[in-house]
Chains A and B, each alone.
Chain A
Amino acid sequence: MDYSFSQEQLAYKEKVIAFAKEAFPESYLEADLNSVFSKEAWMKCAEFGLQGLAIPKEYGGTGDEIDLITACLAMEGLGYACRDNGLAFGINAQLWTVEYPIVLFGTEEQKKKYLPRMAAGEWMGCHALSEPDAGSDVYSMKTTATKVDGGYLLNGHKHYITFGPVGDVILVFATTDPNKGAWGITAFMVEKGMKGFTQGENRPKMGLRTVPFGDLFFEDCFVPEENRLGPEGAGWSITNSSLEHDRCTILAGQLGTMQYQLEETVAYVRKRKQYGQAIGKFQSVSNRVADMKLRLELSKLLLYKVAWMKNKGETSMMESALLKLYMSESFIESSLDAIRNHGAPGYISEFEVERNLRDAVGGVIYAGTSDIQRNIISKLLGL
């Protein structure tokens, strides 16, 4: 295996780091406290080209071709240099769960309509799968799409949707034929303002607070036929492919954050003195730093392996599940270790150390909970 990256890929990551250091503030205390989303930051990223990483050039995309490794390295760079973990999380969600399905399944008209606007930051995209009765068991969804003249009528309720309150274009999954189970699921592009479509308010949450998050309601919402993504019944396949990419790159941002977190913790324990010496000299403290480093390096290896496999078009079910499980749990553990090593400043909001822990917890829930990843691993082992 050779995970070495090209000069261009590595140079792009460095460019992202330089951009993010310059473009974003050092403190997100207020934004986190008040759950404020910054459209300005979103637009800066779009101008730089981050939202175009999953889009071919002819539709406003960034690179000559879509390259998962470049996207991963870019997100890692953003996670490292921008203290708002929500930004990398949100961009990534749009890249792989909205843009990429349109690239794979969209008609020429759909690609022309949605992709350039999302690349430019003008439109924000959401991916709406989860429902009150369909979480991990997502294909038991109840939202229906009934065929009518010229299109479909959507009825149902989606919840916990990233960017739900502010999204301009929503990739919604609904069943066109409940008798067909997962084969009956169809994808639709619903646009803000369509009759019968309502976006709920932001729902306050534990972490990733700069990302608006909420409910979507469909009441006899008419969606024209040309807004169906792929053929009827392609919803399962669309979800499958986009979630696989999402699982891989969504964690790349966290990898960058974990790198920053380690560097910041090392600097702190070298500087802070107790009993006449730097606390980093106490083995209890340095052991935690060593564990943080180990988690970071193992996460990196797993992430790069999955990105490398996927870039070669290989399936990586086992590796992706190991990565998602290990890295999301590691970010929680390392965030706790960072807090322990800082003492009270780690616990108090104003020092902005504790926020990582709150941001990390979502990672063991979204894109398949840790339990679901363990199920996948054990099933693949033949259990």
Chain B
Amino acid sequence: MIEELSRYITEDLINDPDFGTLETDEDLLGSGLLDSLGMMRLVGFIENNYGIKVPTEDLTMENFMSVETIEKYVNSKK
């Protein structure tokens, strides 16, 4: 899942040929790497690919800060 998420974030959301590699503990929203729209697209990707529903209340830093925290969150919801 980590690989899949990282690929989606880098290729589809960051979409910048000059961007290096995404660290799995890198802050996605707080660092400005993704904007709100990017985060919401990521949520859509997660819902479609991992068969879970993300309620608004779950969109917190603990759950969605980095690829690592997202993986933990998704596994906990499965």
Contacts and interface: CB of A to CB of B under 8 A. Distances in A.
A105 interface: yes
Contacts, number: 56
Nearest to B56: A241
B40 A182 contact: no
Nearest to B44: A315
B57 A105 contact: yes
A380 B36 contact: no
B61 to A, nearest CB: 4
B44 A236 contact: no
A234 interface: yes
Give the size category of B's interface with A.
Answer: 20 to 34
Interface string B11-27: 01001000000000001
A315 B30 contact: no
Nearest to B47: A315
Given A315-B44, A376-B37, A236 B29 contact: yes
B49 interface: no
Given A180-B30, A237-B60, A379-B37, A317 B53 contact: no
Contact of B65 (A183, A240, A382): A183
B59 A382 contact: no
A180 B60 CA distance: 12
A382 B37 contact: no
Interface string A162-184: 00000000000000000011111
Contacts of A380: 37, 41
A241 B31 CA distance: 21
B5 interface: no
A317 B41 contact: yes
Most chain B beta-carbon neighbours within 10 Å: one of A104, A236, A382? A236
Contact of A240 (B12, B15, B36): B36
A238 B36 CA distance: 12
A181 B30 contact: yes
A298 B15 CA distance: 32
Contact of B59 (A139, A184, A236, A379): A236
Contact of A181 (B32, B40, B43, B47): B32
A333 B59 CA distance: 38
Interface in B43-67: 43-44, 47, 53, 56-57, 59-61, 65
B17 to A, nearest CB: 14
Interface in A158-208: 180-184
Nearest to A184: B30
Interface of A: 104-105, 139, 180-184, 230-231, 233-234, 236-238, 240-241, 313, 315, 317, 376, 379-380, 382
6 contacts: A231-B60, A236-B36, A240-B40, A240-B56, A241-B56, A379-B38
* Those 7 A-B pairs whose CB atoms lie nearest each other, nearest first: A237-B59, A181-B30, A183-B61, A241-B56, A183-B30, A180-B30, A182-B29
Given A104-B56, A183-B29, A234-B60, 12 more contacts: A181-B29, A181-B30, A182-B30, A183-B27, A231-B60, A233-B60, A233-B61, A236-B29, A236-B36, A237-B57, A313-B53, A315-B44
